[in-house]
Amino acid sequence: MNEVIRMLKKRVFQANLALPKEQLVKLTWGNASAINRELGIVVIKPSGVPYSKMTEEQMVVTDLQGEILEKASLKPSSDLPTHLVLYQEFKEIGGIVHTHSKNAVKWAQAARDIPVYGTTHGDTFYGDIPCTRQLTKAEVNAEYEKETGNLIVATIQERALNPMAIPGIITQGHGPFTWASSVEKAVENSIVLDEIAEMAMGTEQINPQAARLTQYLLDKHYYRKHGEQAYYGQK
């Protein structure tokens, strides 16, 4: 068990280091986590620790209720409750990433979904990336981070989305969360999300009446990577 936890800490540490490397975060504006469902544990970045000073040993281990499981641990990321809600609700999720990446945040602050304009988007996200409503004052004053998770879940359910086909969301006025079956893939989805956010902005600047990607082309690009008959890449 100790070796399993050590390896999970290593993976989460490396995922967190990838965020500034990929220019998805500045200062301490982000976090990545992973879950081991057999053990019922979550590993996440410590709160407010600069990436340049962070160590693998400082990754915080909790249970699914947020209780810290190792003595002398640092405080976990303040976004832990958001991660826990998503892990509890969507059993397919194995890793979660939250950033304040510049391009995605612009859409969050504009309170707009990110439309699917091209195949780069469709390769990873099977449709528009949703933007949530804004949290109410009562939600913010109650359990802000937990209510953020509840709002993400509610948005996905209200729109009847498959969270693994749309593996990310932007929270209005805040920023993006992405997820996947692994924390490494969740990092990749964050990279893609910010890139297509920038592409969509540029598309609308060049042509404010740009046409959305046709459904048949979206189907082709998404399912050739993710469908039962997927053929992209190597076996």
Positions marked catalytic: 123, 232
Single out the residue of 90, 77, 78, 80 nearest to residue 166, CA to CA: 90
Neighbours of 159 (CB within 10 A): 13
Side chain identity at residue 151, one-letter code: L
In degrees, rounded to 5, the angle at the alpha carbon of residue 155 between the alpha carbons of residues 127 and 68 is: 115
Tokens of 130: 């949703």
Single out the residue of 224, 198, 26 nearest to residue 129, CA to CA: 198
**Which residue do the tokens 């707009």 mark?**
112
